Structure 1
Amino acid sequence: MIDLFSLKDKVIIITGATGLLGSQHAEVVAEAGGIPVLLDLDQDRCNQLADKLKQKYSVDAIGYKVDITKEEEIIDNLSIIKIKYKYIHALINNAANNPKVEDSTEKAFSRLENFPTAVWNSDLAVGLSGSFLCAKHYGFLISQNPAGGTILNISSDLGLIAPDQRLYRKAGLPEELQPVKPVTYSVVKAGLIGLTRYLATYWADKNVRCNAICPGGIENNQNEYFLKEVISRIPLGRLAKKDEYKGLVLLLLSESASYLNGSIISADGGRSVW
């Protein structure tokens, strides 16, 4: 049974690898004996995380500065990966902008009627187009692996349900200045679900599976009012701890999930079923 969950010597690409969730994905790969290949925009942070994983788990972790919105950078990185490892076994599409709820009293930046097209384009370029480009190139190399492999897309509970905008309201502000969860977050996370279903059938004959997880919110120093309100909407009565998705990620990357394909798994404490 332990062997079913092993990632020993499997080369696993992780985008947005130095972020809050990305670093947890990288850690579980290393804990299970895999080779985490860390992609992010900051080479120093990639190196720091790779060094930490090498020292802690004795694995061949490595980091690369790659802007996944630029196809030529992905292609250049892929050529390095092919020389170094020959095959890729898995891809975790984790990178995303996290559009902030704006609370400016001068202009309600986050509201749909004010939302800048440039921010829309940037958020979709990273979270959705970037995932497509990574699947196009890293995913294709996975399909060349004789044993196949897997693609894991990181969606969100807000890919399944609409954001409850009441959570973001500020006392004393007129309606036209009330902050909201930006539209791009929902669009990107819902789009990843569509991409997952497409990829689940595309290379299935090559034994390449694709699944998505839809995490809920993570404890990360949110203000007391927000926490009180949001946990009242979650059956388990709390947000997730940052390491609570590691087991699910390991399951989906490993051979223990060898017949799981095209699945969209909510991991949100039950929020999306209420």
Structure 2
Amino acid sequence: MMRILLFLATNLAVLVIASITLRLLGVDRFTGQNYGSLLIFCAVFGFAGSLISLFISKWMAKMSTGTEIITQPRTRHEQWLLQTVEQLSRDAGIKMPEVGIFPAYEANAFATGWNKNDALVAVSQGLLERFSPDEVKAVLAHEIGHVANGDMVTLALIQGVVNTFVMFFARIFGNFVDRVILKNEEGPGIGYFIATIFAELVLGILASIIVMWFSRKREFKADEAGANLAGTNAMIGALQRLRAEQGVPVQMPDSLTAFGINGGLKHGLAGLLMTHPPLEDRIEALRRRG
């Protein structure tokens, strides 16, 4: 539950900061009067946060996970890792990404970067130690699939769209409460600000559900790409190993969870905010694929 709250808090913080900036710039005078101008301003600030996060994603990933980039392999395992990623990248038709290892006991991996020819793929130390070479290759293929499919850009754009409309409709709602219900004709009052913040909270949660739905769909696509690159049986085997380790807490930063191989497990309403589908569903989808 804490991870869910932190995820929501991150998205809502972007919206709140954008809201304050809009007010300081006097943009709120457009609320309820010029919807076109309001939408443009909301789009500018709605996309700003997601695009900035996208462009600095590699730097943030390295800093937040402690990932060590392999520039010169020191062991045969690192040499194998570089060669495997190079082969998978070539087969996927993308430029070789940076390759790194991050210190974590959990079996996990992630891919990030602002475009498919300037990406980073990293695996945890725990995954390298406990998974077989075929399973590690399948995990790498899954992450290469994320990169080749352009999932980082896709989710950044989706986040920008939902941010825009959360800000837009929250201000329309705030203006409606202030002018129609409270009969305030002297400009934005306390009712407007309270109603806007309330609407941003509610719409922000709904927006997160939409983004997570897209994230889960992209995960199935990455599994298919991994199966194409490393073999269906190897991809299924890697997911089965992940399922066997579901008791190990996922400690990946929330900004990277959507592009990891393992997104953890949530139940009930929290399942709507899962970045990944249940592993059983992913395995069954690969089995049906044949």
TM-score normalised by structure 1 residue count: 0.29
| Structure with greater strand percent | 1
TM-score by length of 2: 0.28
Greater RCO structure (CA 8 Å; 6+ sep): 2
Max radius of gyration: which structure? 2
Larger helix proportion of the pair:
2
